[in-house]
Amino acid sequence: MPATIDPAATAWLLAATAMVLLMTPALAVFYGGMVRSTGVLNMLMMSFIAIPLVTVVWLVAGYSLAFGDDAGGGLIGGLEHLGLAGINPGSVRGTIPELLFVTFQLTFAILTAALVSGAIADRAKFAGWMVFVPLWTLAVYAPIAHWVWGPDGWLLNFGALDYAGGLVVEIASGASALALALVLGPRIGFNIDAMRPHNLPFVLLGAGLLWFGWFGFNAGSALGATGTAAAVFLNTLVAGSLGMLGWLLVEQIRDGRPTTFGAASGAVAGLVAITPSCGVVNTLGAVLVGLAAGVVCSFAVGWKHKAGYDDSLDVVGVHFVGGIVGTILIGLLATEVMTGGVNGLLYGGGLAQLGKQLVAVLVVAAYAFAVSWLLGKGIDKIIGFRVSKEDETAGIDFALHAETAYAEGVHGSSPRRFGEGHYGD
């Protein structure tokens, strides 16, 4: 009997796809508020440009490499869908149009690429970024997506669980961000100047829009209007809430006052951690995942100052660490009520699933870091990946885009024309 399209599942996934696409502009606002006033436009552009760049390579080859029939060993998909060959409006994947599945997965790839940009804020050449994004999508994102979600992907067959992207999105982007941060080196004034966010309302607005989109990100991954989608939706809300509370609790105890920046960061940390586990843990599990992520990530963002790497907007501290927390906790908190069979350690499943989750984390992180480092080094050698000291000091908005975000100064800074003295002169 030929597969048929489920109208309810299709309608839900159409809405979820639009919600996930909104996450990239939301990330742009979130990141844009976190940088200094002289780099906000560049930060916005680094997210927005990921939309067309990833779209082109995804339609040409990315989807086929990620979700095409396995080409051997569970490592990469075949080339049967180059240029979406063989996929038409009548093609069905499960109970939804395959073209919709292509688009839904495309929005994931776009967001993941954009996430990496936060680690190199205020100092990356826009041209270098435009070269990096399509190469990274094909060389890093597509293979990892195939390992975890593709037909006969090796991590899928191995038994590692990742419901909506802890490995594919969060750990892949976080490890890649660390690699690029090391390739480009720290910003001028790192560990000396404060480098505070220039617009905290932007940060909170971006976090709120990300949270909204995350419901499509996670619950949409059910690929249907089902009870599982409803459970995932609730888990997403719960984990984001507990992530915020956990981060604020640490700030209150450690610093004596909770901050708006901490609230936004904690919510995102909880959402990051629940991404891989939202479909495999119950509501109590979501509470524990969110709380653990909020607490752990609130400390992890400070590691860069001790280790000496400049992850500008804490992609490593929130997305990489949060992704690891959520992925590993699957091995403890997975329950057969959600998974249909697999139990974590705390539900009588033993250590087997925990071991599988640890292996998956290590392999994905190592691969993403190594390939991203090689791509970054190659781009740096060929066209240069970092702006000049003069442009970085002046602010890269005007140097790279001939624009400034604000007509007047923000936080004591004012836009200047290229060639003029430093701010305050």
Query: How many other CB atoms are there within 10 angstroms of residue 309's CB atom?
Result: 18
- Does residue 410 lie in a domain region? no
What pLDDT, on the 0 to 100 scale, is given for residue 412?
39
Under a CB-based contact definition with an 8 Å cutoff, are residues 286 and 234 in contact?
yes
pLDDT value of position 267: 98
114, part of any domain: yes
Contact 155, 147 (CB under 8 A): yes
Distance CA 246, CA 361 (A): 24
**What is the residue range of 216's domain?**
7-401
**Distance separating alpha carbons of residues 279 and 145, to the nearest angstrom:** 17
- 381, HSE (Cβ side, Cα atoms, 13 Å): 6
- State residue 195's pLDDT score: 86
Question: What is the CA angle 44-270-108, rounded to 5?
Answer: 50
pLDDT in tens, the chain (425 residues): 467 899 999 999 999 999 999 999 999 999 999 999 999 999 999 999 999 999 999 999 999 999 999 998 999 999 999 999 999 999 999 999 999 999 999 999 999 999 999 999 999 999 999 999 999 999 999 999 999 999 999 999 999 999 999 999 999 999 999 999 999 999 999 989 888 999 999 999 999 999 999 999 999 999 999 999 999 999 999 999 999 999 999 999 999 999 999 999 999 999 999 999 999 999 999 999 999 999 999 999 999 999 999 999 999 999 999 999 999 999 999 999 999 999 999 999 999 999 999 999 999 999 999 999 999 999 999 999 999 999 999 899 999 999 999 986 444 343 433 343 333 33
Q: Whose CA is closest to 133, among 390, 307, 418, 379?
A: 379
Asked if residue 273 belongs to a domain, the reply is: yes
Distance of CA 235 to the CA centre of its chain: 19
pLDDT at 2: 60
**Is position 2 within any domain?**
no
Q: How far is CA 116 from the centre of its chain?
A: 7
Domain-located, residue 421: no
407 in any annotated domain? no
In a domain, 60, yes or no: yes
List of residues 6+ apart from 275 with CB closer than 8 A: 163, 164, 165, 166, 169, 170, 214, 217, 218, 323, 326
Helix (H, G, I), strand (E, B) or coil at 95: coil
- What burial letters (b/e) apply to 12-26, b meaning 16+ CB within 10 Å? bbbebbebbbbbbbb
- For residue 83, give the CATH number of its domain: 1.10.3430.10
Q: Which residue has the tokens 């690699």?
A: 179
- Residue 416 covered by a domain: no
Please tell me the distance from the alpha carbon of residue 79 to that of residue 65, in angstroms, as a whole number: 7
What is the total count of domains within the chain?
1
